[in-house]
Amino acid sequence: MTVAAGLGYVLISLGPALSLFVSVIAKKPFLILTLLASMLFWLISLIVLSGAWRGFLPLKSASWWPYVILIITSVGFQEATRLIFWKLYKKLEVILDAFAEEKFRSRLSWTDKMQIALAGGLGHGVAHAVFFCLSLLTPSFGPATFFVDRCSHMPLFLVSAIISLGFMIIHTFSMVIAFNAYAEGNKLNQITIPIIHILAAVMTLINLAPGGCAIGVPLLYIIGVVVLRHCWQMVWRKLTEQGNRQRNSSNIHVS
Amino acid sequence: MERSVLDSLGVEIIGVMSPVSICMLLVVLLVSTVSPSASDSAAAAASATTAATLVYDESPSDPPGRRLAGALLNAAAFVALVAAATTLLVVLYYYRFTGFLRNYVRFSAFFVLASMGGSILLSLLRAAGFPLDAFSALVLLLNLSAVGVPAVLSPAVPVLLRQAYLVALAVIVAAWFARLPEWTTWTLLLALALYDLAAVLCPGGPLRVLVELASSRDEELPALVYESRPASASVSHAVAALGTVELQPVEPAPPNPTMSNRNVDPDRTIVEISSLEEETSPLVPNEPSSSGSSDARQRDIAAEREREREGERNQDPSSSSSLLAPALESDAFDTSRGIRLGLGDFVFYSVLVGRAAMYDLMTVYACYLAIISGLGCTLILLSVCRHALPALPISITLGVGFYFLTRLLLEPFVVGASTSLVMF
């Protein structure tokens, strides 16, 4: 429905990502590179997944259990990819620390690491939005729109934009939580993130039922809010911890 | 906010990736909005006489075997033409026909901007229905083209304008190349990647000979290259107090920015003594990887004698300066001139992405990521190898690979999932 509507859909799915990008990531070139690398990573994981599933497509859309298998395998593979991403990041962190020692005589601070995690998560979220939502949006720039039978309340473009916004939030901040959990060895969080991912993906299965998207999408957003809150609490706790530690260490120096 | 290492790392890489991304974006926009119309049958006939379709004029109705064979012949003919033109360029450079080369570059820049850019402008105006009369359009076009000529050659022009005109040239040429038939485009890209690999790395390759000639004469490469000036050239007070911040080296060691003989440790930067606020970006050697050497007819991104560059170094002290900390004088002479990428690389990256845009947006994103990551890999290799590297092979191979993988594998998977609103 015209260029304005098309742009609107793009902004619905990518608007918050764009503002995150402009405010946090664009200022530091390394974070932009991390974003691009993360997007490439998830693209490769998607390609591998689609290669594995190519023989079974197109799925019979009548029954829902092939989709369950699809989702479980896909999410499992993506979580494994997240682990690989973490391992690669650890190796890079060694190099970065050495570089920082040489130039600034300090190591990577915790905020630096969390910013890298944020960039990585944003890359994941943006890759998801681009490949699942934006690539379908080309017809929306034209004169008509498209409705799906299962979700006839809104145009397909709008629903997929909203869903990809929810997923972007989930992916971005679960990466931050995940990196922190791997760094601290926090087993609880390490398990929680894949569970949340699977839960969110399973929520979209509800969309398969006729009229299901009216339930599925709000549930997805509830999960997104939970992830956001969890991430906020974790960051807040760490920041206050660090603030206390710095105050204590400066006290020690003084005395 | 305390400074962190994240602030400074990777500035030059971004400085190269941004114009490449902008160029690709513009080409994608051009290709998707100004789609061939009925009036372009004349253009189609004109494109039939391009160098790339000399041997075989592809049409969609031919069987795949014939198309493949024809495309291979086309690609071979084109690569042979490019190789011949590059060899001619090397010979001319060797015998110091600098005046001829410089004037040829002037002519070709004007020609590309005026005629090829003009036809794109015309189709844009037509597509947008913009009410501009013929005379104004002509005057506008001629003025823009005329400004473009000194913009790409002369050092006195602001850097931003120069970069903008270089990107514009690349966009125009890439938009023209994207009109080639499909199979020819893909085989041409792959053939050019192979040619670039051979021409830059093999001992007898014309581009390698060119680079060695240029470095042995301590001169710039005679070609159109994009150079990213890092933003960290803000001269702080201490530096101003140091006096000159020119690019003149203190020692007579090779001052030329071409990277063949740079014995610079790219990981080391020279930091000013007085403050740690500003730091030079680490030198990553320049990359005269212009496979974009002259194609006689189409690409006119032929030769350029950048003797002006030497004059530029003397005249232009404040831009892209190297911050010489006197106590840290060492052989590791840093300039923050940034990475240089040949214009031909811009063109062919954009051709690949433009051709991907003609299929679908998903392939565009995949190819964009592939090309950018290939470029990143090449830049990292550059900092390791420190001599001229071809920029095309890795990116083009990755780009073509990702295009076909996306088209065959990813698209049925993802489209099937997302139209059922099942996402993960």
pLDDT digits (tens, 9 = 90+) for A235-251: 999 889 888 888 888 77
Write down the mean pLDDT value for chain B.
Answer: 72
* Per-residue pLDDT tens digits for B98-112: 888 888 888 999 999
DSSP string, B349-414: HHHHHHHHHTT-HHHHHHHHHHHHHHHHHHHHHHHHH-S---SHHHHHHHHHHHHHHIIIIIHHHH
Tokens, residue B419 = 């139209």
B218 in catalytic set: no
Output the CA torsion A51→A56→A61→A63 (10° steps): -120
Residue A43: predicted pLDDT: 93
Q: What is the pTM of this model?
A: 0.80
Q: Is the pLDDT of residue B146 over 70?
A: yes
In this model, does residue B172 exceed pLDDT 50? Answer: yes
Lowest mean pLDDT among A34-38, A177-181, B93-97, B333-337: B333-337
Question: Distance (Å, rounded) from C-alpha A34 to C-alpha A28?
Answer: 10
Q: Is the pLDDT of residue B249 over 50?
A: no
Indicate the residue of A47, A57, A115 with minimum beta-carbon distance to B405: A47
- Residues on chain B touching A128 (C-beta within 8 angstroms): 423
Contact B239, B317 (CB under 8 A): no
Distance CA B174, CA B189 (A): 12
Q: What's the pLDDT tens digit per position in B353-402?
A: 999 998 888 999 999 999 999 999 998 888 888 888 888 999 999 999 99
Lowest mean pLDDT among A19-23, A180-184, B166-170, B213-217: B213-217
Residue of B397 and B63 predicted with greater confidence: B397
Chain segment B175-217, per-residue pLDDT in tens = 988 888 888 899 999 999 999 998 888 888 888 888 888 888 8
Cα separation, B357 vs B351, in Å, equals 10
Q: Do A208 and B424 touch (CB under 8 A)?
A: no
User: Which of chain B's residues have a Cβ under 8 Å away from the Cβ of A51?
Assistant: 405, 409
Q: What is the pLDDT of residues A89-148, one digit of tens each?
A: 999 899 888 888 888 777 788 888 999 999 999 999 999 999 999 888 888 888 888 888
Q: How many residues does chain A have?
A: 255
Please indicate whether residue B154 or residue B17 has the higher confidence score (pLDDT). B17
The contacts of residue B126 (CB under 8 Å, 6+ apart) are B39
pLDDT (0 to 100) of residue B212: 85
| pLDDT greater than 80 at residue B40 | no
| pLDDT higher at B6 or B159 | B159
pLDDT of A62? 66
Query: What's residue B10's pLDDT?
Result: 82
- What pLDDT does residue B364 have? 93
pLDDT of residue B217: 84
Report in angstroms the alpha-carbon separations of B189 from A77, A110, A155, B75.
33, 44, 39, 8
Distance CA B134, CA B141 (A): 10
pLDDT band at B55 (very low <50, low <70, confident <90, very high): low
* pLDDT at residue B232 tops 70: no
* Average pLDDT of span B1-13: 74
Among candidate residues B196, B295, B300, B334, the one labeled active-site is B196
Percentage, residues of chain B above pLDDT 90: 26
Q: Which of B223-237, B292-306, B371-385 has the lowest mean pLDDT?
A: B292-306
Hey, which residues 101-130 in chain A have their CB within 8 Å of chain B? Answer: 103-104, 108-109, 111-112, 115-116, 128, 130
Q: Cis omega before residue B150 (within 30°)?
A: no
Q: How confident is the model at residue B423 (pLDDT cuts 50, 70, 90)?
A: confident
- If one compares B40 and B207, the residue with the highest pLDDT of the two is B207
Residue-level pLDDT at B311? 34
Q: Is the Cβ pair A148, B421 closer than 8 Å?
A: yes
Question: Which of the pair, B228 or A194, is modelled with greater confidence?
Answer: A194
Produce one character per residue of B223-238: b if its CB has 16 or more CB atoms within 10 Å, e if not.
bbbbbbbbebbebeee
Q: Which two tokens stand for residue B251?
A: 């020692």
* The pLDDT of residue A146: 84
| Residue A170 pLDDT grade (very low, low, confident, very high; cuts 50, 70, 90) | very high
Residue B423 to residue A201, Cβ atoms within 8 A: yes
Residue B43 has pLDDT above 50, yes or no: no
Q: Output DSSP code: residue B235.
A: P
Q: Residue B19 — pLDDT band, cuts 50, 70, 90?
A: very high
Quick: pLDDT tens for A193-234.
Answer: 999 999 898 888 888 888 778 888 889 999 999 999 999 999
Give the number of A-B residue pairs with CB atoms closer than 8 Å: 159
Q: Which residue has the higher pLDDT, A163 or A108?
A: A163
How do the residues of chain B divide into helix, strand and coil, expressed in percent and rounded to 5? 60, 0, 35
Within a 13 Å sphere around the CA of A59, how many CA atoms are in the beta-carbon half? 23
Cα–Cα distance for residue pair A86/A83, rounded to 1 Å: 5
pLDDT-derived band of residue B325, with 50, 70 and 90 as boundaries? very low
* Contact (CB<8Å) A204/B362: no
Task: Give ∠ CA B254-B257-B262 in degrees, rounded to 5.
Answer: 55
| Cα A91 from Cα B57, distance rounded (Å) | 51
Tell me the C-alpha distance between B224 and B97, whole Å: 17
Tens of pLDDT, residue by residue over B264-275, are 333 333 332 333
For residue A150, the chain B residue with the least C-alpha distance is B420
Give the model's confidence band at A88: pLDDT under 50 very low, under 70 low, under 90 confident, else very high.
very high
| pLDDT confidence of residue B396 | 95
Look at residue A60 in the predicted model and tell me its pLDDT.
67
pLDDT of residue A254: 65
pLDDT for B398: 95
pLDDT score of B271: 30
Q: What confidence tier does B299 reach under pLDDT thresholds 50, 70, 90? A: very low
- Which residue among B370, B373, B413 sits closest to A49, beta carbon to beta carbon? B413
Nearest CA in chain A to B369: A40
Q: How many CB atoms lie within 10 A of CB A151?
A: 24
Task: Indicate the range of B16-20, B246-250, B389-393, B419-423 predicted with least confidence.
Answer: B246-250
Q: CB distance A104–B413 less than 8 Å?
A: no
Residue B242: partners with Cβ closer than 8 Å, 6 or more residues away: B272, B323, B324, B325, B326
The length of chain B is 424
pLDDT of residue B382: 86
Which amino acid makes up residue B142? L
Please report the pLDDT score of residue A35 as a whole number. 94
Rounded CA separation B400/B277 (Å): 43
Look at residue B44 and tell me whether its pLDDT is greater than 70.
Answer: no
**Whole-complex ipTM:** 0.90
Are the beta carbons of A58 and B419 separated by less than 8 Å?
A: no
Chain A hits for B230, CB-CB cut-off 8 Å, are none
